[in-house]
A and B are shown apart, each in its own frame.
Chain A
Amino acid sequence: MRKITFAEAINEAILTAMRESKDVITYGLGVPDPKGVFGTTLGLQDEFGEARVFDTPTSENAMTGVGIGAAINGLRPIMVHQRVDFFLLALDQLINNAAKWNFMFGGVCRVPITIRLIVGHGWGQGPTHSQNLQSLFSQIPGLKVVIPTSAYDAKGLLLESIFDDDPVIFLEHRWLYGLKSNVPKSSYRIPIGKANLVNEGSDLTIVALSYMTIEAIQAIKELEKIGVNCDLIDLRSTSPLDFELIRKSVKKTGKLIAVDSSSKSFSVASEIIADCAIESYNYLQKPPRRVALEDAPAPTSFGLTNSYYNGALEIYNEAIGLLGIKEENTGSKFIKEKPHDVPGEWFKGPF
Chain B
Amino acid sequence: MNLSELQASMLRIRLVEESIANKYSEQKMRCPTHLSIGQEAIAVGVCSNLTNEDQVLSSHRAHAHYLAKGGCLNSMLAEIYGKVTGCSKGMGGSMHLIDKSVGFMGSTAIVGNTIPVAVGSALAMKIQEKKLISCVFFGDGATEEGVFYESINFAIIHNLPVLFICENNLYSVYSGLEVRQPKGRKIFEMVRAFGIESSHGDGNNVQQVSDYVELARDKILSGNGPQFLEFDTYRWREHCGPNYDNDIGYREEEEFLEWKKKDPLKDIFENKDLDLVKVLFNKFNAEIQQAHHFADNSEFPSDKDFQQIINS
Interface residues of B (CB under 8 A from A): 55, 57, 86-92, 96, 98, 100, 105-106, 108-110, 113-128, 134, 146-147, 150-151, 153-154, 157, 308-310, 312
The residues of B that contact A65 with a CB separation of less than 8 Å are 113-117, 119-120, 147, 151
Q: Is the CB of B123 within 8 A of A70?
A: yes
- A96 near B108: Cβ-Cβ < 8 Å: yes
Q: Which of A103-111, A252-260, A272-280 contacts B (4 or more CB under 8 A)?
A: A103-111
Contact with B along A319-337 (1 / 0, CB 8 A): 0000000000000000000
A-B Cβ contacts below 8 A, count: 139
Given A57-B157, A75-B124, A105-B92: A66 and B146 within 8 A (CB)?
Answer: no
A125 close to B (CB within 8 Å): no
Let me know if A69 and B121 touch, CB within 8 A: yes
In the assembled complex, 19 residue pairs joining A and B whose CB atoms fall closer than 8 Å, in A order, are A59-B147, A62-B115, A65-B113, A65-B151, A70-B127, A72-B121, A75-B127, A92-B113, A93-B113, A93-B147, A97-B108, A101-B106, A102-B309, A105-B92, A106-B88, A107-B308, A107-B309, A107-B312, A109-B106
Known contacts A103-B91, A108-B98, A92 near B125 by CB under 8 Å: no
- Give CA–CA (A97, B92) in the complex, Å: 12
Answer yes or no: A301 CB below 8 A from chain B CBs.
Answer: no
Is B121 within 8 A of A105, CB to CB? no
B43 CB to closest chain A CB (Å) equals 20
Contact B121 A73 (CB under 8 A): yes
Whether B108 lies near A92 (C-beta < 8 A) is no
By DSSP majority rule, is chain A's interface helix, strand, loop, or mixed? helix
**Residue A67 at the B interface, CB < 8 A?**
yes
Could you list 7 further interchain pairs (A-B, Cβ under 8 angstroms) beyond the known A70-B121, A105-B88, A109-B100? A59-B150, A59-B154, A62-B153, A65-B117, A97-B108, A97-B113, A106-B89
Docked-complex contact A92 and B123, CB < 8 angstroms:
no
CA of A96 to CA of B86, assembled, Å: 21
Chain A residues whose CB sits within 8 angstroms of the CB of B114 once the complex forms:
65, 97
A68, A70, A96: which has the most chain B beta carbons within 10 Å? A70
Contact between A25 and B127 (Cβ–Cβ < 8 Å)? yes
Contact indicator per residue, chain A 76-102, by CB within 8 Å of chain B (1) or not (0): 000000000000000011001100011
Number of interface residues of A (CB under 8 A): 35
The 6 lowest CB-CB distance pairs between A and B, nearest first, are: A69-B120, A65-B116, A62-B150, A106-B89, A59-B150, A73-B124
Pairwise interchain contact A92-B110, C-beta atoms closer than 8 A: yes
A285 close to B (CB within 8 Å): no
Of the residues B86, B117, B126, B310, contact of A72 by C-beta under 8 Å: B117
B86: shortest Cβ distance to chain A, in Å? 7
A130 vs B242: C-alpha distance when bound (angstroms): 49
Contact of A71 among B110, B113, B120, B151 (CB under 8 A): B120
- Contacts of B92 on A, CB cut-off 8 Å? 104-106
Q: Which residues of A contact B123 (CB under 8 A)?
A: 66, 69-70, 75
Question: Would B121 and A57 count as touching, CB distance under 8 A?
Answer: no
* Contact residues in B for A71 (Cβ distance below 8 Å): 120
**Is A141 part of the binding interface, using a Cβ–Cβ cutoff of 8 Å?**
yes
